[in-house]
Structures are given as C-alpha cells and as structure tokens.
Amino acid sequence: MQSPIVQKLVSGYQEIFSTKPLLFRSPGRVNIIGEHTDYNNGFVLPAAINKAVYVAVEKRQDDQIVLYSIDFKDKFEGHLSEVRRSDKHWANYILGVVAQFLKRGHKPGGFNLVIDGDVPLGAGLSSSAAVECATAYALNELFALGIGKKDLALMAQKAEHEFAGVLCGIMDQFASVFGKKDHVIKLDCRSLDYEYVPLKLEGYKILLLNTNVKHSLASSEYNTRRQQCEEGVAMIGKHHPEVKSLRDATMEMVNQYVKVNEVIYRRCKYVVEENTRLLEGCEDLKKGDINALGAKMFRTHDGLSKEYEVSCPELDYLVGSVRSNPNVLGARMMGGGFGGCTINLVRETAIEELVKELSAAYSKEMNKELTPYIAQIEQGTSEEKI
C-alpha cells in the first residue's frame, strides 16, 4: 500500500511527463544530544525520522534539467551546461547537488525530477538536507555513478554551503543517508567513523514540539557562531598548535586562553562541555539510564540558550514549561536554533494530556500555534517501490 504522499507524487509526475519514474526517499532527522558540535569536529547523536522528502526521477534524452515542486506548484527548467544558483529557493537545493556531481567530474545526463515530502520546512528537522540527500542518492542510482554513501552525504553538505550559503556541519546529511530503524548514530564528525546505538526508551517517546517560528535568522547567525568557534581555536592554538578545532580543546585551555574575550569564551565553553555531555549521554543510553540522559538534555538547552545564544523566547518557553514535569525526562531546543522544534522525552501515556495543556498555554503566551509530532526512528535514504 502506497502512502498518500507517494501516490500524490507519482500521479503528479505522470500528469506532467506521462511516464513511470524511479522513486527515492530521504528522511529528516532528530538529534538526541550534541548540538553545534559537528562543525567543531566533535560528536553528534542523530537519527532519521518518519518524515521524509521523496523525489520521482527519470533520465531524459537531452541535457535539460526539468524540476517540479508539488508543494510550491512551481517548475524549473535549466541545462546541464549552466548549473547555477537560481531565484527559485526550492530548486537550489537540487541544483546545488547537481553542481557537486559536475565539480567532481561525474557526468549525469539530463533528467526530470518531481519533489514532495512531509518534513516541515524551517522546523529544524533538516528538510534541506533531506532534499539534497534524496537528489544525490537518486542521481547516483539513475546514472550508475558508483559513488559511496559517505561521499554522497559530503556532496549534499557542500551543496548546502555553496547553493544555500549555510556553512553547516555534516550531521544532517549523514543522518539522512545513514539512518537506521530504532537506532541513533554516534558520529565522530572528524573521522566520520560511526556506531549505531539502539534507542531503547522503555515507555517513553520522542515528542517534537514545533514553535512554528521559522528559523530565518539562522543562516547568518549560524555562520557567525562557526566563525566565533574558529576565533577561539586560534586563541588556544597560539599556545597549543596541536589544537586544530574545539574537539581538541579542554576546559582548562578555554579558561586559560579564551576568557579575555567574554563572548568567544561562552561559545567555546558551551561546545567543549557539550561534547563531553554527549559522550556521557551516549553511555547513559547504552546503560538504559534515560533519566540521566534527559537531565543532560536540559543542561544542553541552558547552554544553547545562555552561552551559545541560539535559542528564542518560544523555545525557552516550551522547555521551561516541561522542566519540572515528572513525565518529561528531558527537553531542549534542537538543530541550528532561532526557532524550529524542541525535542522532548515524554512518558508515552502522558503525551496526549501534555500536548493539550501546552498547546493552550503556548497560544495564550506566545500567540502562536504549537504543532506536535511523535518522531519514530527510521531507515535512511532508500529507493522505494512504485
């Protein structure tokens, strides 16, 4: 049985091109703990979720690229010989990936691609990475280019840098491609070595609460944070040349060499502590101590809000509202920040009541709607049967 979204996509494709395409799916992601650590060469703990982007694709006989977004009801046409950033925001994530294939000397031909999905946009669930990874995976299969999964994720990341202008780390693309059902990925963002850790939540579920604040500020502030971390590394590196990223730094070093600059100090302190918190949190998960993991998630939120300063009043409000709720083991803002979702570990039997109460309170206090999702952990990028 095809999901409604797949049915809509395939019939949409056939209305435009009247042929039968191949279909690929790439999911959004959650991250349990380890935020803003990826571009500091640290660890992250993401997982792919049951919300995904789908692309229906087919080769063309010529070198045209014809794209259609069901969501935006918008078409893009271009030529393989002149792939550049367009004025269509949605198309740029696809074109950015095509550009990476060409840059690496691969020769995809012309193609038709129709896209749709149910990853909410701007909600911190990595809809853009899902588009990039679905495209990268699809073109690799369609043109039998033989590129490995790690390289596909890296190409998708580069597409984000060059066509969306966000100097993101590798977490989102890696999670989308490498996701494994009911597991989180402990990823070392320096070596790209990874380990799957079973996510056993014993009566608890991952509840995502979308503030419905779109994180539009995020790209510029995101790049600024990255730069601030690099400044911190440079300050430490003068004394410890072996320190090439905050992954290599200790709190002693941060205290000794970065305190002179108060802002950079807070940024570096958060990252170094978060990396340790993640490693310990991952051990908590392996031991089945999700209480301890949950407590760390609250500490991560405090760090992101007060030291790294990537939260917003709506995210702070939602985390504050559940902090002393005995049915919530942990909560924090998730992803790049400035909006999007909080991730909450909530006792399954308490979810309905909690969502009801919080939705009412949130709309009263923040004058916005709250959108809840229960995240299930799924496989990464795949080809789907039609």
Catalytic residues: 172
Those residues whose C-beta lies under 8 Å from the C-beta of residue 316, and which sit 6 or more positions away, are 305
Instruction: Say whether residue 36 binds ligand GLA (CB under 6 A).
Output: yes
Instruction: Say whether residue 169 binds ligand GLA (CB under 6 A).
Output: yes
Map the footprint of ligand GLA across residues 76-115, applying CB under 6 A: none
Q: Which one of residues 12, 78, 108, 336 is an interface residue with ligand GLA (CB under 6 A)? A: 336
Least CB distance from residue 325 to ligand GLA, whole Å? 25
Q: How far is CA 87 from the centre of its chain?
A: 24
Site string for ligand GLA, 178-207 (x = CB under 6 A): ------------------------------
CA quadruple 18, 94, 382, 5: dihedral sign: negative
Q: Which one of residues 21, 28, 33, 38 is an interface residue with ligand GLA (CB under 6 A)? A: 38
Instruction: Say whether residue 232 binds ligand GLA (CB under 6 A).
Output: no
What gap in Å lies between CA 278 and CA 295, rounded to an integer? Answer: 12
Number of residues that bind ligand GLA (CB under 6 A): 11
**Tokens encoding 333:** 């803002």
Supply the DSSP string of 32-101, one letter for each residue. SS--S-GGGT-EE-EEEEEEEEEEEEEE-SSSEEEEEETTTTEEEEEEGGG----S-HHHHHHHHHHHHH
Of 132 and 257, nearer to ligand GLA (C-beta) is 132
The residue range among 167-175, 179-187, 198-206, 289-297 that interacts with ligand GLA, by the rule CB under 6 A, is: 167-175
Least CB distance from residue 35 to ligand GLA, whole Å? 4
Least CB distance from residue 310 to ligand GLA, whole Å? 8
**Tokens encoding 372:** 């809840």
Q: Which one of residues 21, 96, 303, 335 is an interface residue with ligand GLA (CB under 6 A)? A: 335
The residue range among 33-41, 250-258, 263-271, 292-300 that interacts with ligand GLA, by the rule CB under 6 A, is: 33-41
Closest CA to 215 of 330, 303, 333: 333
Strands annotated E in the chain: 22-31, 43-44, 46-59, 64-69, 74-79, 111-117, 183-188, 194-198, 204-210, 328-333, 341-347, 371-375, 382-384
Binding site for ligand GLA (CB under 6 A): 35-36, 38-39, 126, 168-169, 171-172, 335-336
